[in-house]
Chains A and B, each alone.
Chain A
Amino acid sequence: MAAVLAIALKDLKLLFRVRAAFFFTMVWPLLVAVVFGSLFGGGNRGPSRIAIAVTDEDRTTASTAFVDGLAAREGFDVLRTTDTEARDLVRRGRRIGAILVPKGFGAASEHLFYGASPKVELRIDPARQVETSMLQGFILEQGAKRMQTLFDDPGNGEARVAGMLADVRKAPAGAIAGQAALQNMLTSLDTYLAEQKRADAAGAGASGARPKAAGAGWQPIEIAVSSIERHREGPANGYQITFPQGMQWGILGCMMSFAVSLAVERSRGTLTRLLMSPAPSWALLAGKGLACYLAILIVQTVLMAIGATFFGVRPSSWLLLGLALVVVPIGFVGIMMFVASLGTTEQGSAGAGWAIMMPMSMLGGGMVPLAVMPEWMQSVSAISPVKWMIVAYEGAIWRGFSLAEMAVPCAILVTIGVVAFALGARRFHATLA
């Protein structure tokens, strides 16, 4: 056992002292995972905001409140600027639309139901139909708020209604359509708001707090918003796809390094020296296998830790992730031994290894995600150990596997590992003879 551990420790030292091997087993997989994860959409940044430019030429309390309302609205990225620049920004595609609040907006906002309505101008790229509708809806909502403010604060609303009533009474007969009816409506509204104000005052005196009167704060429609977590059927972000793929490159890097190292031991004569020692030849293979297992385990764990800490690759089950981390290396240690037995020179082992593993990677979803492969290819991919490695990780990360579901890829990988190791060890001994 001491010989096995000594060989494993020696091989791990050698692996991490070869800069190229370290790069391709640790750094390269991380680069693949991060770069492709970013290209596939990266992390959850939330929905993108609609970028608009707003020009307030009126500069009254009402116009400022309107623009502030836009800016405070979630989902909008508001830039306050001049009309000329706003148009230019839209033309150059930097902003989806431009809203101009012209002079007279504040004055028109003083009255309701009669006279000119407050007006805003919306300039927008005609190709952005969806955004146009959203902006129009939002501007209408801002307009409706003018009416709502009457009821939010009965004291202020009463003053505004009184002003409008005075305007209507002063207006010459026939100047306002439906003038008599409007006057009646405003009078009734004035009475209603005065009663609301009294009710508020009575409530405040009774309890010290300010309870709302029955009609205070009335709105045309009230929307109650509550959160329901959406059940995700896919990955939460691109990194959850690319990190298992990146880990695959780390595993292949380790595997190939160890497969070639056996050929290097042959060519450098260290294999001969080891075989001349009292340590049995199985200890040599076991030591190599143990070193390869530990190297893959370390590489996977480090990559997974980086993914979980910085890129939102959080597993749905830590237990299943642990199982995948422990089982996946078994499959690839076996393949390493088989590949190592295929060549007696460094070039032979490396050539045979990549010739086997590149198609396995392509078929198994190591290069193109399994989810986007055609159905027939997904069926064929079952022959690739890379597929089962990725399925195991995805099962633990975002597929929400049960233990029974996770047992399938794990059992396949263990079987592949044991069979390949046995075949490789047999071939290796045959080449020694």
Chain B
Amino acid sequence: MLTLTALVKQFGTSRAVDGLSLSVGRGEVFGLLGPNGAGKSTTVHMAVGILEPTAGQVDVGGLGSPTRPSVRARIGVAPQSLSLYELLTGDENLRFFGTIYGMPAAALAARVTWALEFVGLVDRRHDRVETYSGGMKRRLNLAAAILHDPDLVLLDEPTVGVDPQSRNAIFDSLLALKREGKTIVYTTHYMEEAERLCDRVAIMDHGKLLALDTVHGLTQTHGGPPTLILRTPNGEERIETRDPLAELNRQAAARGAAMPAEFEVATPTLEQVFLHLTGRSIRD
């Protein structure tokens, strides 16, 4: 559904995206992970056609470059910044964006209602956006992206800066989209979101693709072995092991009665994958 080939974007002397190649299949939820400044938003802007790549190519659904309006009409975008008109109501915002995306007037009203119901804002449809909470604005931002029933949905940090309750509501909406079989490209620096939602994840830093695989594949390849954690009266003992159960048995046999009663097995996370790949935490 989306193919990026040797994509480069240069701003002056700074290279925001450096030779990025990847392909997102139809119906796949694809995570683009990286810290702020990794080049995720620049990649999204090139994928949607508002930034011209310095080099490389973007193809959407085999239709060609998204700089063509007909290709762009197949894409829905929820930008990182809240791209809404605060003095318009939620309903007016969606009607406006629906018209801009060329939706026929007859279908627009029903589709606006569907989108507002989808994100749980139908009760507030006639309130001005300026009266919405941050989380509600994020949900409306998402509604504006999916209103015209796009084949490809690009979500740029859709949960940034919202309270946990709104984050869960947004996440539920994204899971519903996933069940509908939408192709979603999801940029985030929240590893747990990517772990929960994404079929495959690409990890970026400094504009380069560091790794691309399923979450399991990434943790297997780059996350290191699981860790057996024993809780003793003096604190914790952490033992990295490829086989936690065998290691637990070995520790019990060796310690006898002194074996701690509390223990835990920590599997590797994407955070550890990122740490392994870059040498620093994603939130540094």
Which residues of A are at the interface with B, using a C-beta cutoff of 8 A?
Answer: 2-3, 6-7, 10, 13-14, 17-18, 268-270, 272-280, 433
B79: contacting residue among A18, A269, A433, CB under 8 A: A269
Interface residues of B in 66-88 (CB under 8 A from A): 69-70, 72-73, 75, 77, 79-88
Can you pick out 25 interface pairs between chain A and chain B where the beta carbons lie within 8 Å of each other? A3-B99, A3-B102, A6-B96, A10-B88, A10-B92, A10-B96, A13-B87, A13-B92, A14-B88, A17-B87, A268-B86, A269-B79, A272-B50, A272-B83, A273-B79, A273-B97, A273-B144, A276-B48, A276-B75, A276-B77, A277-B100, A277-B101, A278-B72, A278-B73, A280-B69
Residues of A within 8 A of B48 (CB): 276
Q: How far is the CB of A289 from chain B (nearest CB, A)?
A: 16
Residues of B within 8 A of A2 (CB): 99, 102
Residues of B within 8 A of A17 (CB): 87
A279: contacting residue among B50, B52, B84, B100, CB under 8 A: B100
Given contacts A2-B99, A273-B144, 11 further A-B contacts (CB under 8 A): A2-B102, A3-B100, A7-B100, A13-B92, A14-B88, A276-B77, A277-B100, A278-B72, A278-B100, A279-B69, A279-B102
Complex CA–CA separation, A189 to B75 (angstroms)? 112
Complex CA–CA separation, A276 to B144 (angstroms)? 12
Q: How far is the CB of A432 from chain B (nearest CB, A)?
A: 8
Interface band, chain B: 20 to 34
The list of the 8 closest CB pairs from A to B, nearest first, reads A269-B81, A273-B83, A278-B69, A6-B99, A269-B83, A278-B73, A17-B87, A278-B72
**Complex contact B87–A276 (CB within 8 A):** no
**Complex contact B79–A277 (CB within 8 A):** no
Q: How far is the CB of B91 from chain A (nearest CB, A)?
A: 12
Q: How far is the CB of A262 from chain B (nearest CB, A)?
A: 14
**Complex contact B88–A277 (CB within 8 A):** no
Complex CA–CA separation, A164 to B86 (angstroms)? 95
**In the assembled complex, B19 has its CB within 8 A of some CB on chain A:** no
Q: How far is the CB of B87 from chain A (nearest CB, A)?
A: 5
Residues of A within 8 A of B97 (CB): 273, 277
A270: contacting residue among B45, B52, B84, CB under 8 A: B84
Closest to B104 in A: A2
Complex CA–CA separation, A23 to B44 (angstroms)? 41
A274-B79 in contact given A10-B88, A13-B92, A14-B88 (Cβ < 8 Å)? no
Residues of B within 8 A of A13 (CB): 87-88, 92
A268-B82 in contact given A14-B87, A273-B77, A276-B49 (Cβ < 8 Å)? yes
Complex CA–CA separation, A269 to B75 (angstroms)? 17
A272-B81 in contact given A277-B97, A279-B100 (Cβ < 8 Å)? yes
Complex CA–CA separation, A277 to B78 (angstroms)? 11
Residues of B within 8 A of A6 (CB): 96, 99-100
Residues of B within 8 A of A273 (CB): 77, 79, 83, 97, 144
Closest to B89 in A: A13
Q: Mark B91-116, 1 if CB is under 8 A from A, else 0.
A: 01000110111100000000000000
Residues of B within 8 A of A276 (CB): 48-50, 72, 75, 77, 79
Q: How far is the CB of B88 from chain A (nearest CB, A)?
A: 6
A278-B99 in contact given A269-B81, A272-B50, A272-B81 (Cβ < 8 Å)? no
Residues of A within 8 A of B88 (CB): 10, 13-14
Closest to B50 in A: A275
Interface centre among A18, A268, A270, A277 (most CB of B within 10 A): A277
Complex CA–CA separation, A220 to B92 (angstroms)? 82
**Complex contact A270–B77 (CB within 8 A):** no
Complex CA–CA separation, A269 to B141 (angstroms)? 11
Residues of A within 8 A of B101 (CB): 277-279
Complex CA–CA separation, A277 to B92 (angstroms)? 17
